[in-house]
């Protein structure tokens, strides 16, 4: 039986999140006998920690999703959204061109709302609830691509 993760109210992520992983305590059921790597048997009573279960968490650095969407909606034509997210060159370009005549502002609003554009440091947004989030699927060199065979 594993504990629920303790959630940090300011980031809405599990506490002690490092390298996208946090750990929660797990208590084996009473009268469970386990052998360790040396062959020593241990009988659990149900009150001691048997192991720590890793759970996934997100790296956040203080960028709020609500603030980013609001800046994009109301001040996107001035580039405030891109300045906030850490893209000063694009922010200045949007400022000088009045949001690429409004089209760039609309595109940025859609991209930020869908969480495709995030903070420049690679961290995730702080979202005001703990629960399901968007997960972006990517293909990298570490991803295996299987060739399709046709019958």
Q: Are residues 50 and 10 located together in one domain of the fold?
A: yes
Classify residue 111: in a domain, yes or no.
Answer: yes
Q: Both 46 and 95 in a single domain?
A: no
Q: State how far the Cα of 28 lies from the Cα of 103, in Å rounded to an integer.
A: 57
In a domain, 148, yes or no: no
Question: Is residue 132 one of the residues assigned to a domain?
Answer: no
- Residue 80 belongs to domain spanning: 61-126
Structural domain count of the chain: 2
Helix axes of 103-113 and 88-96: crossing angle, nearest 10 degrees? 150
Q: What is the pLDDT along the chain (151 residues), one digit of tens a residue?
A: 888 999 888 888 898 888 889 999 998 888 888 887 788 888 888 888 888 999 988 888 889 999 999 999 999 999 999 999 999 999 999 999 999 999 999 999 999 998 899 999 988 898 887 666 667 777 777 776 667 677 6
Which of 20, 113, 11 lies closest to 62, judged by CA?
11
Determine the pLDDT at residue 137. Answer: 73
pTM (two decimals): 0.72
Q: Are residues 48 and 97 in the same domain?
A: no
Does residue 76 sit in the same domain as residue 107?
Answer: yes
Residues in the chain: 151
Q: Are residues 76 and 116 in the same domain?
A: yes
**Confidence (pLDDT) at 59:** 85
CB atoms within 10 A of CB 120: 13
């Amino acid at each position: 039986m594993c504990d629920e993760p303790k959630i940090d109210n300011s980031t809405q992520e599990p506490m002690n999140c490092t390298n996208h992983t946090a750990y929660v305590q797990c208590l084996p059921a009473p009268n469970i006998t386990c052998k360790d790597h040396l062959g020593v048997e241990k009988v659990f009573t149900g009150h001691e920690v048997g192991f720590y279960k890793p759970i996934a968490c997100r790296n956040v650095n203080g960028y709020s999703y609500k603030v980013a969407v609001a800046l994009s909606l109301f001040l996107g034509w001035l580039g405030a959204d891109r300045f906030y997210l850490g893209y000063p060159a694009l922010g200045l370009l949007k400022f000088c061109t009045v949001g690429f005549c409004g089209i760039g502002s609309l595109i940025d609003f859609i991209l930020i709302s869908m969480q495709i554009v995030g903070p420049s440091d690679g961290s995730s947004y702080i979202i005001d609830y703990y629960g399901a989030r968007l997960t972006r699927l990517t293909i990298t060199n570490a991803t295996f691509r299987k060739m399709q065979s046709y019958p």
